Amino acid sequence: MPRALSIKRSIVPLNERTKYLERLKARKDYYKRATCEFWVFEEAALTGAFIEFVEAADAATLEAAHSAAPEPVLDPARIYTEVELT
C-alpha cells in the first residue's frame, strides 16, 4: 500500500508567529503519536509563508489521524498517495 501525504499552506502575520510555532510543536507531537511524520517549511523569500506536510504509511492511517486531530484539518479528504515509479 502506498504512503499518503497531506499538505497545508498558511500565511502567518509576524505578531502571531510565536503562537503559531507553539501550535506546530503540539501538532508534531500529536501526529508522531498517531504514527505519522510531520514537517513544516517556511518560504525563504517570504517570512510567514509556511507549508505543512503530514505523511503516513497509508491513506487509512492519515485519515484516522486527521479525523482525531485536536485542531480541525481544513480539507481532510485531500490526501495524496505515492506513485510508484518502476
Calculate mean pLDDT across residues 54-73: 93
CA-CA distance, 14 to 31, in Å (whole number)? Answer: 25
What is the model's pLDDT at position 13?
97
DSSP code for 79: -
Predicted local confidence at residue 2, as pLDDT: 84
Reported as a single tens digit per residue, the pLDDT across 6-54 is 999 999 999 999 999 999 999 999 999 999 999 999 999 999 999 999 9
Q: Is 28 helix (H, G, I), strand (E, B) or coil?
A: helix
Tell whether the model's pLDDT for residue 1 goes beyond 80. Answer: no
What is the Cα 15 distance to its own chain's centre? 22
Hunting for cell 481544513 — which residue is that?
74
Q: How far apart are CA 48 and CA 10, in angstroms?
A: 8
Q: What's this model's pTM, rounded to 2 decimal places?
A: 0.89
